Structure 1
Amino acid sequence: MGSLPTDNNIDNERFNNPIHHRRHIRIVCIGAGASGLLFAYKLRRSFDDFSLTIYEKNKGIAGTWFENRYPGCACDYPAHNYTYTFEPKPDWPSVYASGPEVRQYFEDFAAKYHLANYCKTSHKVTRAQWDQRTGHWWVDACNLETKQTIKQECDILINATGVLNKPQWPAIPGLHDFQGKLVHSADWDESVDLKNKRIGLIGNGSSGQQILEAAQPIASHLTSFIRQGAWTFGPFGPSAQRDYSPSEIETFKTDPTALLSLRKASETRINSSFPVFLSGNQAQAKLRSHLTTNMKSKLKDPALESILIPSTGVGCRRPTPGINYLSALTAPNVTIAYGPIAKITHHGAISSSDPDLHHDLDVLVCATGFNSTYTPGFPILNADNHNLQDRWAPERGRPAAYFATAIPDYSNYLTFFGPGNPWASGSFLAMIEAQAEYMMKLIDRYQSENWLSFAPKVEAVDELMEYSTKILKKTVWAENCSSWYKQGLKCPAAGSELNNGDDEDATRQAAAESLTLWPGSGPHFIEALAELRAEDWDIAYKGNRFAWLGDGFSRTEVDPESDRAWYIRERDEGPFLSREKRRKVRTMKGERGKWGMAI
């Protein structure tokens, strides 16, 4: 981008201070869920001279765990690993935590590090506008209690709203004419009583399965409307759901080594899973055979097997834990209605697979997930007044981002879980830590140099998308299943021309071009974000690009507590200067001492 004309005030400030003089930076973050809270923690830990405001539309923090309160809501990843990597919780009561327990973890984290000081709850951001002349964002936020709008200026804008936060109602004729109780899993009405009710449940993803497990024992009857099968893993972790004994919890509290060993075992398991997602891989074939055998042993009905066991690879859709799902689904008080719903009536539903049968219902639950497009919920306007809502509208095809974190032409704007995130192949909280630390590297450069703006280059993102398509085409994610991983792609029906013979390659290519996933494993993503590739970024400066050199003095010279001869030493204990040696220091089990020694 180059430099703007010299701003004498900026240059004078630099020239009158030592190298890397820190300027005050103003940051606005949108969302106080897992990623927004982590961002605040990382910023507070490493930086001074900043102001941070986190706008959160809900009345409380914790994001999705504040919003999702449906019966049976739980985390389907082992609780000891559904924590920040540096913030273990030794006293989880069970292997898999309930929704309220996970919410409490994030609330406790925020309280421990005083993060609520940065949060404005019940504030919804309604607009953001970039001003290239000043190098600032203008952010409008509505106080949902007073209905007043706040206009705030900031240097850097962080979007931590995530993708899975806008409930997706199904497009079914007559849905909102239903005269019983209509409720969505992601916007649960806690006044709804399911006991002894005739319940209709649309959807068989993770939330649908959890609701079914919770509702089946108390319902008078439950009708499960299913459009496609789902691979049901059982627990994602190495053991089934159970409560920890008091002695186990005490061990985790008093013996950090035991807890660390458990956490590492679970993380190693997921970090070894990427081969499973490669089509034709032996690991995929082995797992598919195992799950098929396991599901058949529980279903014991060829008709149900043909409905519920997918024809596509394991992982094309997000696998579900379904710990007790299949036994609940086959209970005497459950009916399975397969295929699309033809219409909703005042008092029930009619499935297209049996149009003569009316399913009488008292409660209709839509466990139909979220609007998983990356389209922002409010206008985000760049220097040319181009709205990111338009660029990422579903009809425009696959949205593109740089390492799921930044967008070309949108300066000083960073996002968590943007397009290209490792949703299917990485550990959720470890991935946001990788993104947060990458953001900190950019913020550090911005604060200690005279940057005006930064954004990834268009050509860098174009080539990243080209690379991604080549890799993703080889994965099960590019097979013919309906999945929120595929941005805007309508999959051809099984048995159609595009699923046969020579056209299979065209089907996979189209799917790969629509996928919004990282083209690799979780550890692959972490290593990719480990270093800042400045050559991929457009950077504009305020004044002389070397003004950050300051007045000729180092910061060490002007700090009376610093050692002015810090580089004089008895041995070389500095970091290794090749990626591979640094990796070995970080990751070699039992070898850190050897690789950490001077050579």
Structure 2
Amino acid sequence: MARGNPSIAIAGAGFSGIGLAVRLKQAGFTDLTVYDKAGGPGGVWRDNTYPGAACDAPSHLYSYSFEPKPDWTRRFAEQPEILDYLRHCATKYGLHRHLRLNTEITDAEFDAASGRWRLHTAGGGIHEHDLFVAACGQLSNPSVPRLPGLDTFAGEAFHSARWNHDLDLSGRHVAVVGNGASAIQFVPLIAPAAASLTVFQIEVHWISRKPDREYPRWRHALNRRVPAAQKLSRLGIFLWFEVLLNPALISPRGRRTLSAPIRVLCRYALRSVRDRDLRRRLTPRYEPGCKRILTSSEYYETLNRDNVHVVEDPITEVTPHGVRTASGDHDADTIIFATGFRSQDFVAPMRVTGAHGTELSAAWKDGARAYLGLAVPGFPNFFLMYGPNTNVGSGSIVHMLESQAAYIVQAVRLLGTGVTTLDVRADVLDAFDATAQRRLGTSVWNQGGCDSWYLDADHRNTNNWPGSMTAYRRRTRHLNPSDYHLTH
């Protein structure tokens, strides 16, 4: 390690990896490499190109604070514009010379003798670095259910995150498995052309109307000439999430106060479904917020179409010509899985091995845990971004990522002053995790009566942060060296 300029490896070139790389360069650290298995930056916004893909957090907050975009075309930006924004950031801040694309890290192992991380790539390459950051995200590995008979299906089948753009859906009989955040975006756009579209509903969701709109040109001009106007808009959105929505998810008192208004808003949107029986089937029986509240102004209207059907029965098997449930066979020549991601894998399929030969998967056999979602005992000089218990039920993950980037920059500064390794203490993680799980225990995610991707098989909440975005920013503002075992 060159004194003052540690060698840093970042796995992932999405919002996490790009944001961290920028902050490291701004802090004067230039010996950094951002690895990504794909051919360009963008992460989830590069991979999810399904029709209608868009963010459900307002654009002015779902962007870096250090790189405001004055000319967002609409309040909730769509995938192409978000991807362009990330590419712009990579170019503006000179990251392309640090990007190592089409390079998948398969194994990462800490060498105790040298105090360095040794990374192995799918192509057989080996690279060594002083510090390693997994910026893979929670939503990078698509989850496809293991349905009996799927291998016998004679038609086309794909996951929404791997959309088949070569397939023309016009006149086809489409089965959509899942009805979550991605499905409610693409179903309204593909339904008009399909001969039939059947949504196999896994679990109902609370859905409110999406307050989306295009920004006029005068707003773009105002943002450019008076930057404070855009900052004020960002602050207003931030306070909406922090002061109103966040307490409705975490605080028992807030849940009691705000649950009723949220139900009213969602049921108002549900009134657009004409069939009374279907409205009943689309009404959740769990508390609002237990799953992320979805937003759409087109999904319910689409369900009124004659060629669109909703099936609640669980799928028992896939046949060569469709999908079978307890109620019978449903013809289909196309299956689209809108079944989300393997959100609790965090770094999979990459294998990470710590100082004592322990793999991260073994360390997490009882559930993923990391101090502040960032550091794991026994894995020196290793940090995660968007790790365990850092997801937000309301708000913008970008705000959380910037907090994590600032914390990691402090760790790199320590390495640049003669410290060889930082290894978070086990008792520090235990205390943090106990407090986090206790607070999560009274949250709507744990007590709301649903089964969500936030909870693992043991009903342990491994994904969500049990507080506000402000609280997380405060906890990560200063790295306390006494939280770590340090070697020099």
TM over 0.5: yes
Q: What residue in structure 2 maps to residue 276 of structure 1? A: 248
Specify the SS of the correspondent of 2:133.
strand
Task: Identify which of 388, 391, 398 aligns with 2:363.
Answer: 391
The reply on whether 1:294 has 2:268 as its aligned counterpart is: yes
How many Å apart are 1:195 and its aligned residue? 1.8
Specify the SS of the correspondent of 2:416.
helix
Query: What is the identity, as a one-letter code, of the residue corresponding to 1:527?
Result: R
Query: What is the identity, as a one-letter code, of the residue corresponding to 1:45?
Result: Q
Query: What is the identity, as a one-letter code, of the residue corresponding to 1:389?
Result: S
Q: What residue in structure 1 maps to residue 15 of structure 2? A: 34
Task: Identify which of 300, 323, 327 aligns with 2:297.
Answer: 323
Contact 1:279–1:313 (8 Å) recurs in 2: no
Specify the SS of the correspondent of 2:145.
coil
- How far apart are the structure 2 equivalents of 1:51 and 1:183? 39
User: Cα deviations across residues 71-129 of structure 1 (Å, max 9, x unaligned)?
Assistant: 11111221222210121111111222111111000001111111111001100001111
The reply on whether 1:517 has 2:464 as its aligned counterpart is: yes
Query: What is the identity, as a one-letter code, of the residue corresponding to 1:113?
Result: Y
Task: Identify which of 378, 394, 412 aligns with 1:409.
Answer: 378
Contact 1:422–1:521 (8 Å) recurs in 2: no
User: Cα deviations across residues 489-509 of structure 1 (Å, max 9, x unaligned)?
Assistant: 4xxxxxxxxxxxxxxxxxxxx
- How far apart are the structure 1 equivalents of 2:33 and 2:267? 52
- How far apart are the structure 1 equivalents of 2:89 and 2:475? 28
Query: What is the identity, as a one-letter code, of the residue corresponding to 1:526?
Result: R
- How far apart are the structure 2 equivalents of 1:293 and 1:366? 27
Q: What is the correspondence of 1:12-27 to structure 2 with a 5 Å cutoff?
A: 22-27=3-8
Q: What residue in structure 2 maps to residue 197 of structure 1? A: 172
- How far apart are the structure 2 equivalents of 1:126 and 1:94? 39
Specify the SS of the correspondent of 2:203.
coil
Q: What is the correspondence of 1:580-591 to structure 2 with a 5 Å cutoff?
A: none
- How far apart are the structure 1 equivalents of 2:395 and 2:265? 21
Task: Identify which of 460, 470, 485 aligns with 1:538.
Answer: 485
Contact 1:33–1:62 (8 Å) recurs in 2: yes
Q: What is the correspondence of 1:295-444 to structure 2 with a 5 Å cutoff?
A: 295-352=269-326, 354-355=327-328, 358-374=329-345, 376-392=348-364, 396-444=365-413
The reply on whether 1:261 has 2:232 as its aligned counterpart is: yes
- How far apart are the structure 2 equivalents of 1:308 and 1:258? 40
Contact 2:421–2:487 (8 Å) recurs in 1: yes
User: Cα deviations across residues 57-79 of structure 1 (Å, max 9, x unaligned)?
Assistant: 00111111111111111112212
Query: What is the identity, as a one-letter code, of the residue corresponding to 1:204?
Result: N
Query: What is the identity, as a one-letter code, of the residue corresponding to 2:11?
Result: I
- How far apart are the structure 1 equivalents of 2:368 and 2:125? 30
Specify the SS of the correspondent of 1:224.
strand
- How far apart are the structure 1 equivalents of 2:202 and 2:351? 34
How many percent of aligned residue pairs carry the same amino acid? Answer: 29
Query: What is the identity, as a one-letter code, of the residue corresponding to 1:252?
Result: N
How many Å apart are 1:330 and its aligned residue? 2.5
The reply on whether 1:173 has 2:148 as its aligned counterpart is: yes
Task: Identify which of 79, 89, 105 aligns with 1:109.
Answer: 89
Query: What is the identity, as a one-letter code, of the residue corresponding to 1:458?
Result: A
- How far apart are the structure 1 equivalents of 2:262 and 2:146? 32
Would the alpha carbon gap of residues 302 and 475 (structure 1) be closer, same or farther in structure 2, given more than 3 Å must change?
A: farther
Q: What residue in structure 2 maps to residue 153 of structure 1? A: 128
Rg (Cα) greater in structure? 1
- How far apart are the structure 1 equivalents of 2:395 and 2:215? 26
Q: What residue in structure 1 maps to residue 218 of structure 2? A: 247
- How far apart are the structure 2 equivalents of 1:77 and 1:514? 22
Q: What residue in structure 1 maps to residue 40 of structure 2? A: 60
- How far apart are the structure 1 equivalents of 2:370 and 2:81? 33
Contact 2:10–2:132 (8 Å) recurs in 1: yes
Task: Identify which of 38, 58, 80 aligns with 2:60.
Answer: 80
- How far apart are the structure 1 equivalents of 2:112 and 2:65? 37
- How far apart are the structure 1 equivalents of 2:342 and 2:369? 18
User: Cα deviations across residues 335-384 of structure 1 (Å, max 9, x unaligned)?
Assistant: 000131121111111223x13xx211121100111111225312211121
User: Cα deviations across residues 477-527 of structure 1 (Å, max 9, x unaligned)?
Assistant: 0133121100224xxxxxxxxxxxxxxxxxxxxx3x344321111111111
Contact 2:354–2:379 (8 Å) recurs in 1: yes
Number of residue pairs aligned between Structure 1 and Structure 2: 483
User: Cα deviations across residues 306-325 of structure 1 (Å, max 9, x unaligned)?
Assistant: 32221111111122112311
Specify the SS of the correspondent of 1:299.
coil
Give the alignment's TM-score, normalised by structure 1: 0.78
- How far apart are the structure 1 equivalents of 2:156 and 2:482? 56
Q: What is the correspondence of 1:117-136 to structure 2 with a 5 Å cutoff?
A: 117-136=97-116
User: Cα deviations across residues 431-490 of structure 1 (Å, max 9, x unaligned)?
Assistant: 100000001111111111x2121111111111111111211111110133121100224x
Query: What is the identity, as a one-letter code, of the residue corresponding to 1:404?
Result: G
- How far apart are the structure 2 equivalents of 1:314 and 1:204? 16
User: Cα deviations across residues 149-188 of structure 1 (Å, max 9, x unaligned)?
Assistant: 2211111001111121111111221123211111111111
Contact 1:94–1:242 (8 Å) recurs in 2: yes
- How far apart are the structure 2 equivalents of 1:202 and 1:231? 18
- How far apart are the structure 1 equivalents of 2:77 and 2:127? 38
Query: What is the identity, as a one-letter code, of the residue corresponding to 2:435?
Result: Y
Contact 2:440–2:461 (8 Å) recurs in 1: no
- How far apart are the structure 1 equivalents of 2:426 and 2:261? 40
- How far apart are the structure 2 equivalents of 1:301 and 1:535? 61
Q: What is the correspondence of 1:229-240 to structure 2 with a 5 Å cutoff?
A: 229-235=204-210, 240=211
Task: Identify which of 212, 215, 223 aligns with 2:190.
Answer: 215
How many Å apart are 1:193 and its aligned residue? 1.1
- How far apart are the structure 2 equivalents of 1:435 and 1:225? 38
- How far apart are the structure 2 equivalents of 1:515 and 1:424? 13
- How far apart are the structure 1 equivalents of 2:480 and 2:24? 21
- How far apart are the structure 1 equivalents of 2:427 and 2:289? 31
Structure 1: gaps (5+ residues): 1-9, 11-20, 143-147, 490-510, 542-599
User: Cα deviations across residues 205-240 of structure 1 (Å, max 9, x unaligned)?
Assistant: 1101111121122222110100211010222xxxx2
How many Å apart are 1:391 and its aligned residue? 2.6
Contact 1:425–1:522 (8 Å) recurs in 2: no
Task: Identify which of 160, 163, 174 aligns with 1:185.
Answer: 160
Which sits farther off after the overlay, 241-250 or 460-469? 241-250
Structure 2: gaps (5+ residues): none
Q: What residue in structure 2 maps to residue 549 of structure 1? A: none
Q: What residue in structure 2 maps to residue 69 of structure 1? A: 49
